[in-house]
Amino acid sequence: MEIGRVVGTVVSTIKSPGLNSFKLLVVTPIAVTQEMTSPDDTATYVAVDLVGAGEGEIVLVTRGSAARIPDAADVPTDAAIIAVVDNVQIGSENAYSKA
């Protein structure tokens, strides 16, 4: 799974019915190192939100068929936000703690 930061939203009216009940959030990948930086914001992507994440939050994202487990079996998504991150520990360093 990847760690990312929610940076925006996508809105569509013409879409596959399976997407209707989900917010589409724009996520920028965060490198899971002590610095927790965004190495490449052109790698930003769109994920369905399964846990009510807010803008700017650090989240855990699963990709591929896992993105439809277990509540989104008929949703055509290949990326899902499955957790809001409270804390990332790298060795003895606290790389991130939710404010």
Q: Encode burial over 25-47: b for 16+ CB neighbours within 10 A, e otherwise.
A: bbbbbbeeeeebeeeeeeeeeeb
* Pairing of β 79-84 and β 93-97: unpaired
Distance, in Å, from the CA atom of 74 to the CA atom of 32, rounded to the nearest integer, reads 31
* For a second copy, the closer CB: 14 or 99: 14
Q: Cis peptide before 70, with omega less than 30 degrees from 0?
A: yes
What string marks each residue from 65 to 94 as x (binds a second copy by CB under 8 A) or -?
xxxxxxx--xxxxxxx-xxxxxxxxxx---
Interface with a second copy in residues 4-63 (CB under 8 A): 7-16, 18-19, 24, 26, 31-33, 39, 41-42, 44-47, 50-52, 55, 60, 62-63
Query: What are the residues binding a second copy (CB under 8 A)?
Result: 1-3, 7-16, 18-19, 24, 26, 31-33, 39, 41-42, 44-47, 50-52, 55, 60, 62-71, 74-80, 82-91, 95
